[in-house]
């Protein structure tokens, strides 16, 4: 019997495609981009057909027959397969480990029930759909001159045009994205259905953005793609994008790998956010892939931020990106908040809060305005300690402290998840007077309850929003004015438009000033600028308080705070880029990080040292292996080896050959390679 040979990519660590037979006599003619069910070992798995050929290099008796082709699903287009191939090549992963996990889980199971159900549901037009189609679009707010210029520039862009939209917080970047999408839809021919992809860094930012989009485009199908969706929802939204029905696709980083056959514009909002970098599996940067995908499709890409990443800012300085600017807030009467520094050496805090901040909160309560206290440390206290013998609540499985969670009566490790009851006495000396050290959001909430017993408090962090929908319910309560004082971590720092919030207090930001991470200052500045931008986004009410940001610090003369007071990102970025250039750090150097994990630290270090000696290449530097800053997590010891080169092609060439050598080593330690690491 005559056969076609299907070359199939599978989700396996083996960096190769697998050959399967498909009888020519079958009515179905397989095509590249189709999904196919094949036997693999003792399992039946779904793979991606990457090519169909007439002959295999393997002997006929070594080939197995493919079982079924998912013909009900249109093939994944060649440009999508090229995107996956590029990501696999650049981030040094097998193609199957990129392409298959990019698809919804319900497309990758052996049974087609879920796929058939989703296709049937998406094909149905319900009365609710008809009502949506007849809805009237919400009126668009008027644009100021700067916004109008930016929208015109984006709408008139032709071909690959990378643009950095540098706009202060509250400058109306979201409105610019919506107007640009509307311009693309308006210019499309009658038989075209252009698609716009808008990326946002976090799941909790998608509801507000989705509501704005759906209100503006009630007759346009919108798809959401993020990990918070149930599998049935995710496959339906993915299919809407893949079939070209969804004209606007909103999502987190995983949405950059969605199948979008008619993509005409990509927007990456808050492009500086580290959440765009995947930290497990395929460690890709969604922002960087967005730029590559725009180049591949020859379309514009807009990277938006009030605090651009230094990589993107350097691209602007080098002329590779076009700079678009929004220097003023979109609401004419709204001004940037005044930033004041509270010197903790002069104003000693009580309960973690200074008298200056207490007075400022009191004025807001009297005026019926909202305040936000930002502390990027959840839990009650970072550690419990014994004054008698010096015992501290170390995690027995990690090189970290167990954090006190007082409401739960637990000590909890935020790295491995281990929980223990709070000890009634010191495990070492028996002292019953154990004390919490430091402050987390729970302890600040307790202090505020004592200072302002009549105020309505709400804490938003990873502990208070564990249940599905709880984060959105909390933010809705703030928007409805049911909260006087909001206490939160980085979850509240960006993207949210609080209409009545006029005060932001920042607690304990100084630790980042002395971090070993060279990106710590950049992240702190962005975080503080973003959370500051939650204040005063709308016109000041008659008799209301001017918006302000109060930062409690022991280092008020630090250059970072000086730039922050002036809302001067350019000054801060110029200083940081000068330091990075002098120290040969990214974006002026290209890096990769080889990590190893083992039960014993010496085994991980020994593997890395052998890897370092495996091969060398001119222009590529391999540093000595060192333990990771968080050396032990869940009883696993971790170490790393940094690889650097001034040439990206040279680094890529080295990594490909190096990986092949490492894979032949058959090491007993678990290891992984990350290209362009963001945490070193």
Would you say residue 137 has pLDDT above 80? no
Cβ atoms of residues 72 and 112 within 8 Å: yes
Q: Is residue 627 part of a domain?
A: yes
Q: What is the pLDDT of residues 190-205, one digit of tens each?
A: 778 999 999 999 998 8
Whether residue 135 sits in one domain with residue 20: no
Cα–Cα distance measured from residue 122 to residue 125, given in angstroms and rounded to the nearest whole number:
8
Phi-psi region of 184 (alpha: psi -120 to 50; beta: other; left: phi over 0): alpha
**Half-sphere exposure of residue 366: CA atoms within 13 angstroms, side-chain side:** 8
Tell me what pLDDT residue 136 has.
67
Residues 195, 311 within the same domain: yes
Q: How far, in Å, are 209, 462, 677 from residue 251 at the CA level?
A: 10, 20, 23
Q: Tell me which of 80-94, 103-117, 263-277, 437-451 is least confident.
A: 103-117
pLDDT at position 84: 97
Specify the number of domains making up the chain. Answer: 4
Pull the structure tokens for residue 243: 């079939």
pLDDT at 134 over 60: no
CA distance 183 to 196: 11
**Residue 57 falls inside a structural domain:** yes
Candidates 40, 42, 38, 44; CA nearest to 5 is 38
Mean pLDDT score, 467-492: 90
* 184 and 277 belong to one structural domain: yes
Residues 488 and 344 grouped into a single domain? yes
Does residue 291 surpass a pLDDT of 70? yes
Residue 468 sits in the same domain as residue 352: yes
The average pLDDT across 476-487 equals: 93
CA 602/CA 611 separation, integer angstroms: 14
Indicate the pLDDT class of residue 1, thresholds 50, 70 and 90.
low
Q: Which residue has the higher pLDDT, 189 or 663?
A: 663
Instruction: Say which residues have a Cβ less than 8 Å from residue 501's Cβ, sequence separation at least 6.
Output: 369, 370, 371, 372, 478, 486, 534, 535, 536, 537
- 219 and 255 in a single domain? The answer is yes
Residue among 291, 256, 252, 292 nearest 275 (CA): 252
What is the pairing mode between strands 3-9 and 43-53? antiparallel
What does the pLDDT read at residue 516? 87
Q: Where are the alpha helices (DSSP H) in 135-205?
A: 145-156, 173-187
| 265, burial (CB in 10 Å: exposed 0-12, middle 13-18, buried 19+) | buried
Collapsed DSSP state (helix, strand, coil) of residue 595: strand
Least reliable range by pLDDT among 472-476, 493-497, 517-521: 493-497
Which two structure tokens, joined as six digits, stand for 178? Answer: 């919506």
Assign residue 230 the CATH number of its domain. 3.40.50.300
Flag whether pLDDT at 129 surpasses 80: no
Residues 363 and 475 in one domain: yes
| Predicted TM-score (pTM) of this structure | 0.93
Q: Which residues are 8's β-sheet partners?
A: 18, 49
- Angle, CA of 512, 517 and 519, to the nearest 5°: 80
Specify if 137 maps to a domain: yes
Tokens of 346: 């002069």
Would you tell me how many other CB atoms lie within 10 Å of the CB of residue 525?
22
CATH number of the domain encompassing residue 631: 3.30.310.180
What is the Cα–Cα distance from 510 to 521, expressed in whole angstroms?
10
Q: What percent of the chain has pLDDT over 70?
A: 98
Lowest-confidence pick of 124-133, 289-298, 430-439: 124-133
**Quick one: 53 and 134 in the same domain?**
no
Query: Could you give the CA distance from residue 678 to residue 526 in angstroms, rounded to a whole number?
Result: 15
pLDDT tens-digit map of 539-586:
677 678 899 999 999 999 999 999 999 999 999 999 999 999 999 999
Instruction: Assign 115 a pLDDT band (cuts: 50, 70, 90).
Output: confident
Token pair, residue 161, equals: 């045009």
411-461 residue pLDDT tens:
999 999 999 999 999 999 999 999 999 999 999 999 999 999 999 999 999
Note whether 14 and 136 are same-domain residues.
no
pLDDT value at residue 135 = 57
Residue 128 DSSP SS3? helix
Closest CA to 161 of 297, 254, 61, 259: 297
The answer to whether residues 213 and 250 touch, using CB atoms and an 8 Å cutoff, is yes
- Say whether both 556 and 484 belong to one domain: yes
Structure-token pair, residue 44: 């039946």
Q: What pLDDT is attached to residue 62? A: 87
Query: pLDDT tens digits, residue range 144-155?
Result: 999 999 999 999
pLDDT for 604:
96
Place of tokens 């419990």: 384
- Among 19-23, 110-114, 290-294, 445-449, which is the least confidently predicted range? 110-114
* pLDDT (0 to 100) of residue 149: 97
pLDDT for 128 equals 44
As a whole number, mean pLDDT of residues 210-221 equals 93
Q: What is the pLDDT of residues 221-266, one digit of tens each?
A: 999 999 989 999 999 999 999 999 999 999 999 999 999 999 999 9
- Greater model confidence, 425 or 122: 425
| Alpha carbon distance 482, 456 (integer Å) | 7
What's the confidence (pLDDT) of residue 3? 86
In a domain, 390, yes or no: no
pLDDT tens column, 533-549: 888 887 677 678 899 99
Which of 304, 326, 348 terminates a domain? The answer is: 326
Mark which of 43, 76, 109 sits at the end of a domain.
76
Asked if 479 and 549 sit in the same domain, the reply is yes
Q: Is the pLDDT score of 127 beyond 60?
A: no
Does residue 640 fall inside a structural domain?
yes
Three-state DSSP state, 193: coil
Is 651 a residue whose pLDDT tops 90?
yes
Task: Tell whether 432 is covered by a domain.
Answer: no
**Residue-number span of the structural domain to which 57 is assigned:** 3-76
pLDDT band at 331 (very low <50, low <70, confident <90, very high): confident
Q: What is the pLDDT of residue 626?
A: 96
Residue 183 pLDDT more than 70?
yes
336 close to 197: Cβ distance less than 8 angstroms: no
The average confidence (pLDDT) of the chain is 92
Tell me, yes or no, whether 84 lies in a domain.
no
- Element (H or E) spanning 631, and its range? strand 626-633
Q: In this model, does residue 353 exceed pLDDT 90? A: yes
**Residue 614 included in any domain:** yes
Domain match, 513 and 643 both: no
Q: What per-residue confidence (pLDDT) applies to 89?
A: 96
């Amino acid at each position: 019997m005559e056969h076609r040979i299907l070359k199939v990519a599978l989700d396996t660590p083996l960096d190769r495609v697998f050959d399967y037979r498909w009888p020519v006599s079958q009515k179905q003619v397989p095509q590249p981009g189709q999904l196919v069910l094949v036997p693999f070992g003792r399992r039946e798995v779904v793979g991606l057909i990457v090519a169909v050929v007439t002959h295999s290099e393997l002997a006929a008796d070594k080939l197995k027959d493919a079982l079924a082709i998912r013909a009900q699903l249109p093939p994944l287009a060649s440009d999508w397969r090229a995107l996956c191939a590029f990501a696999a090549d650049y981030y040094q992963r097998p193609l199957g480990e990129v392409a298959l996990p990019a698809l919804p889980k319900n497309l990758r199971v052996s049974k087609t029930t879920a796929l058939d159900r989703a296709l049937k549901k998406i094909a149905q037009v319900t009365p609710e759909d008809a009502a949506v189609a007849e809805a009237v679009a919400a009126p668009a707010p008027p644009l100021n001159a700067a916004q109008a210029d930016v929208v015109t520039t984006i709408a008139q862009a032709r071909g690959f045009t990378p643009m950095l939209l540098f706009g202060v917080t509250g400058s109306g970047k979201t409105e610019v994205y919506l107007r640009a999408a509307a311009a693309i839809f308006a210019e499309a021919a009658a038989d075209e259905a252009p698609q716009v992809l808008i990326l946002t860094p976090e799941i909790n930012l998608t509801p507000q953005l989705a509501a704005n989009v759906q209100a503006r485009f009630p007759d346009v199908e919108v798809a959401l793609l993020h990990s918070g969706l149930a599998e049935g929802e995710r496959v339906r939204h993915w299919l809407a994008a893949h079939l070209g029905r969804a004209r606007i696709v909103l999502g987190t980083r995983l949405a950059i790998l969605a199948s979008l056959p008619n993509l005409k514009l990509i927007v990456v909002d808050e492009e500086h956010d580290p959440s765009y970098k995947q930290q497990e599996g395929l460690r890709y940067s969604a922002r960087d892939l967005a730029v590559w995908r725009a180049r591949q499709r020859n379309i514009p890409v807009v990277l938006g931020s009030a605090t651009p990443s230094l990589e993107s800012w350097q691209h602007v300085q080098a002329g590779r990106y076009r700079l678009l600017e929004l220097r003023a807030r979109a609401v004419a009467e709204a001004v940037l908040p005044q930033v004041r520094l509270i010197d903790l050496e002069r104003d000693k805090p009580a309960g973690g809060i200074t008298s200056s901040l207490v007075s400022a909160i009191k004025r807001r309560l009297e005026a019926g305005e909202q305040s936000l206290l930002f502390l990027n440390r959840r839990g009650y206290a970072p550690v419990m300690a014994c004054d008698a013998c010096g015992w501290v609540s170390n995690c027995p499985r990690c090189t970290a402290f167990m954090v006190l969670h007082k409401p739960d009566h637990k000590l909890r490790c935020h790295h491995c998840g281990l929980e223990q009851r709070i000890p009634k006495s010191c495990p070492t000396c028996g002292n019953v007077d154990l004390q919490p050290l430091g402050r987390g959001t729970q302890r600040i909430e307790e202090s505020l309850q004592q200072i302002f017993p009549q105020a309505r408090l709400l804490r938003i962090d990873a502990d208070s929003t564990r249940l599905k929908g709880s984060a959105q319910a909390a933010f809705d309560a703030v928007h409805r004015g049911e909260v006087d004082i909001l206490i939160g971590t980085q979850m509240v720092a960006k993207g949210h438009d609080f209409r009545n919030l006029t005060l932001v207090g920042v607690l304990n930001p100084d630790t980042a000033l002395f971090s070993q991470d060279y990106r710590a200052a950049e992240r702190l500045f962005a975080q503080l600028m973003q959370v500051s931008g939650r204040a005063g986004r709308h016109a000041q009410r008659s008799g209301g308080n001017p918006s302000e940001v109060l930062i409690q610090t022991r280092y008020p003369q630090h250059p970072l705070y000086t730039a922050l007071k002036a809302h001067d990102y350019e000054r801060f970025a110029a200083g940081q880029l000068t330091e990075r250039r002098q120290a040969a750090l990214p974006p002026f150097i290209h890096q990769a990080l080889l990590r190893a994990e083992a039960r014993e630290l010496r085994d991980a270090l020994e593997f890395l040292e052998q890897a370092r000696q495996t091969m060398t290449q001119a222009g590529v530097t391999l540093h000595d292996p060192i333990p990771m800053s968080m050396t032990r997590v869940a009883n696993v010891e971790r170490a790393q080896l940094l690889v650097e080169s001034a040439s990206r092609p040279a680094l890529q060439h080295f990594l490909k050959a190096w990986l092949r050598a490492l894979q032949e080593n058959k090491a007993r330690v678990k290891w992984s390679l990350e290209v362009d690491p963001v945490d070193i």
